[in-house]
Amino acid sequence: MALAELPRIPLACLPTPLEEAKRLSAALGGPRIFLKRDDLTGAGLGGNKVRKLEFVIGRALAEGADTLVACGGFQSNLARITAAMGNRLGLDVTLVLGGVPGEARPLSGNLLLDHVYGADVRYVETVPRWEFGAAVDNVAEELRALGRRPFVMPLGGSSAEGMASYIAATRELLQQCAELGMAPDRLYVAVGSGGTYAGLLLGAFHWGAPYQTIGVSVSRTAEFLRDKIATQAAAAAAALALARVPAAADLWIEGGYVGDGYGEMTDGCREAIALVAQSEGVLLDPVYSGKAMACLIEHVRRGIVGRNETVVFLHTGGWPAIFAYSADALGLNGKRTRWKGRSAS
């Protein structure tokens, strides 16, 4: 299953911009920071899942599916984008959305958009949050009994097809870096289910990227993710006929930025959202990119990232989720808040 032979539905707006964040860099006193704007992939308000679903839905159509079944949390980016892309392709979409017992699910943020897109939304209780048990398979069986041909989407789009999208994205990024005449030292990205990070790592190995790929967990421990992602990446490498396979020791995953759990706000995330919004006019989300940027900011301040280095931050999107958070949660408290160093240029 060579990369070029995979079924693919070209719905993303590619290539996404690679923008230098000069004011953000100045506010941090260096390094040189670039934003890889995968929040601008287009379909369903964009995000990293659009790249993944070009390949995953490509597989679904190749198998004759007429219905997509996706699972995730109440504010799932995958669910939102599946609903939008399904509509573009004339496919029915059923979303199985899980949360811990008693968790509120107001129609806001991504969940509001799921309903605007007209998806069939089912709610289940999941403990832990990412454990759906037989719920998704049961929905698929129900649809088959009705004569439908459902395709069950992998959690987070983290199949070999989903990872292939970020192997291809790595080549796109390296071409852009070459055009700008720069070679990044590090690439930072948020890690949830792990598919984007695994794809980037495979891409870095495959294309000979010059940078370290640093993943920032938003939900689970670094130890758990290292083992899980190494296994995922090895399976994908075998399926895609890639020669080089990363081992757990090759993974750099930061696990100290989760806070109280998935989707739970942290002080570092609040600061990161405000800093990037007010220095670059770019929105981060509280679940993924905000926590990943909090890690990059702290790494600069602690000297882990040198002042003369060049860093790429992969913006995975997800910003519609910000509308599911209150002003208090975002640290605004009804006030106009400015970050220190506002005059940086």
CA distance 198 to 96: 25
Where does 3-153 show beta strands of DSSP type E?
Answer: 18-20, 32-37, 67-73, 92-99, 120-125, 150-152
Per the annotation, the verdict on 217 as an active-site residue is no
Catalytic residue among 76, 193, 279, 289: 76
Q: In what order do the strands lie in the sheet with 150-152?
A: 120-125, 92-99, 67-73, 150-152
Which residues fall within 8 angstroms of residue 42, CB to CB, at 6 or more apart? 11, 12, 13, 50
DSSP 260-327: TSTT---HHHHHHHHHHHHHH-----TTTHHHHHHHHHHHHHTTSS-TT-EEEEEE---GGGGGGS-T
CA distance 60 to 86: 11
Amino acid at 161: E
CA distance 31 to 283: 20
Contact yes or no for 302/324 (Cβ under 8 A): no
Report the length, in residues, of the chain: 345
**C-alpha dihedral sign at 149, 239, 288, 208:** negative
Q: Which residue has the tokens 């698929």?
A: 140
User: Using alpha carbons only, how large is the chain's radius of gyration in Å?
Assistant: 19
Closest by CA to 280, choosing from 14, 27, 109, 48, is 27
Contact yes or no for 255/221 (Cβ under 8 A): yes
Q: Which residues are catalytic?
A: 76
